[in-house]
């Protein structure tokens, strides 16, 4: 390969990341809007009477998303990652717009389930495409930069509480605007995004049964699934319930609580993802376990953060713990696909990540629903978050047991 060809491929690889960052932003924007606009939506939608019902709204999205993630991953591995991404963006944007028009609890559950269908195809395809374009030396950094789009979407969603409180806008406007932007961006994305050279639409690949058998027979993949799942249970509860927790504990408004719960942890996650990507890529120069060590380091930061969030006492302590959690999450999040690339071959990357999502988000949905049930029964927050910290400690041990197989 000539220097000119290598430079062109490098530019293309980074251009793909740049095109996908806004998609990642939109992918998570509507999820966080739902959490931060809870008060307004519950007051306006007929049939929502308990925290358990709201927890089920949050959970139904995750359960549908989880079940279909392996399907979306397999299709992205078997056919065109580019087409899967563009169609997924268009579909979930239409559903986002439709969410702004629901009037009943049943209607909200239905739109969240449809959102799970449409969004399930994006993350496995996008991360696999990035991993294909970016070889080892830049893989963690590229994934980390993509993940900043997710965190930016969560930050913007955190301000949705102010939009919901504004008489001239409201929660319906937020969903309608988010859906329209996504539909408009899907058109240029379809023409500008590229499949990596090694991935050819309709090319040969394993059958679903063969792919599943190979992945489930892979000890290191199963360890990665477990280490990916345990911290995510706490992560989803923090994303979905922290605005409500802060509102109740400190008497904040909906807008203040939503902004505080989201802004600090996601800004810290952006820094953690970028720094974690750099650290992991450099650590890989010394050992092929560099990304595993970086992920474990991030998980260790979850421990003090979760204990602190269980009983913050003051707003300052709560913000500090959210920042610590965010830094750890960035280190953890930017290395999951790169570690997967070390234990599974390229033809199974999207399918493998889809299976990881299946397990992780299924438990995350159960965590959302279960947290609502525990709150209804008055279980103390320190006890709940102490259990989350114990799971994070187990995940540190599990990820360190993974043995890389591929460069």
* Domains within the chain, CATH numbers bracketed: 9-192+207-400 (1.20.1250.20)
Q: Cα(385)–Cα(305) distance, rounded to whole angstroms?
A: 9
Cα–Cα distance for residue pair 210/208, rounded to 1 Å: 5
- How wide is the angle at C-alpha 42 spanned by C-alphas 26 and 122, nearest 5°? 20
Nearest one of 268, 73, 97 to 175, comparing CA atoms? 97
**CA-to-CA separations, 142 to 10, 14, 22, 90, 318, in angstroms, rounded:** 11, 8, 14, 24, 31
Predicted local confidence at residue 127, as pLDDT: 92
Give CA torsion, residues 342, 345, 346, 351, to 10 deg.
-100
pLDDT of residue 406: 62
- Residue 350, CB-side half-sphere exposure with 13 Å CA sphere: 33
Give the model's pLDDT for residue 201: 42
Supply 60's token pair.
């139904």
d(CA 186, CA 146): 17
CA dist 123 and 126 (Å) reads 5
The pLDDT value given to residue 73: 92
Mean pLDDT for 46-57 is: 82
Count other Cβ atoms within 10 Å, centred on residue 31.
Answer: 22
Confidence of residue 198 (pLDDT cuts 50, 70, 90): low
Apex CA 326: angle with CA 261 and CA 400, to 5°?
Answer: 145
Nearest-angstrom CA–CA distance, 230 and 397 = 11
Q: What is the pLDDT of residues 210-267, one digit of tens each?
A: 999 999 999 999 999 999 999 888 888 887 788 888 888 888 877 788 778 878 888 9
Q: What is the token pair recorded at 21?
A: 């960052």
Q: Calculate the alpha carbon distances from 217 to 43, 202, 225 in Å.
A: 49, 26, 13
Asked if the model's pLDDT at residue 407 lies above 80, the reply is no
Q: What are phi and psi for residue 382, nearest 5 degrees? A: -55, -35
Report the range of poorest mean pLDDT among 87-96, 140-149, 362-371, 375-384.
Answer: 362-371
pLDDT at 252: 82
């Amino acid at each position: 390969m000539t220097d000119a060809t290598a430079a062109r491929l490098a530019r293309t690889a980074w251009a793909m990341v740049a095109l996908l960052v806004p998609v990642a932003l939109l992918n998570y924007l509507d999820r966080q809007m739902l959490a931060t606009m809870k008060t307004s939506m519950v007051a306006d939608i007929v049939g929502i009477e308990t925290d358990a019902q709201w927890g089920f709204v949050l959970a139904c999205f995750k359960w549908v998303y989880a079940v279909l993630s392996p399907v979306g991953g397999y299709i992205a591995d078997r056919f065109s990652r580019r087409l899967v991404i563009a169609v997924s963006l268009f579909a979930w944007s239409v559903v986002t717009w439709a969410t702004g028009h629901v009037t009943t609890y049943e209607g909200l559950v239905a739109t969240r389930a449809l959102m799970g269908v449409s969004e399930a195809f994006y993350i496995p395809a996008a991360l696999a495409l990035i991993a294909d374009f970016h070889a080892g030396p830049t893989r963690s950094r590229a994934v980390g930069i993509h993940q900043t789009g997710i965190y930016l979407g969560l930050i913007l969603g955190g301000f949705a509480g102010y939009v919901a409180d504004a008489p001239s806008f409201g929660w319906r406007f937020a969903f309608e605007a988010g859906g329209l932007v996504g539909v408009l961006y899907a058109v240029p994305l379809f023409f500008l995004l590229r499949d990596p050279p090694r991935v050819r639409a309709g090319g040969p690949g394993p059958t679903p049964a063969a792919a599943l058998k190979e992945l489930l027979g892979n000890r290191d993949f199963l360890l990665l699934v477990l280490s990916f799942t345990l911290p995510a249970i706490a992560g989803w509860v923090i994303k979905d319930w922290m605005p409500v927790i802060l509102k109740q504990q400190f008497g904040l408004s909906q807008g203040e609580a939503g902004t505080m719960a989201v802004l600090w942890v996601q800004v810290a996650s952006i820094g953690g993802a970028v720094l974690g990507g750099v650290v992991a890529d450099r650590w890989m120069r010394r050992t092929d376990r560099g990304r595993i060590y970086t992920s474990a380091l991030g998980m260790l930061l979850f421990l003090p953060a979760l204990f602190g969030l269980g009983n913050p006492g003051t707003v300052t302590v709560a913000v500090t713990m959210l920042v610590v959690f965010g830094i750890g999450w960035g280190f953890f999040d930017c290395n999951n696909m790169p570690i997967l690339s070390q234990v599974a071959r390229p033809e199974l990357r999207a399918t493998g990540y889809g299976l990881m999502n299946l397990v992780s988000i299924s438990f995350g949905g159960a965590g959302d629903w279960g947290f609502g049930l525990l709150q209804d029964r008055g279980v103390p927050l320190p006890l709940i978050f102490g259990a989350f910290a114990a799971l994070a400690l187990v995940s540190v041990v599990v990820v360190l047991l993974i043995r890389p197989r591929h460069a």
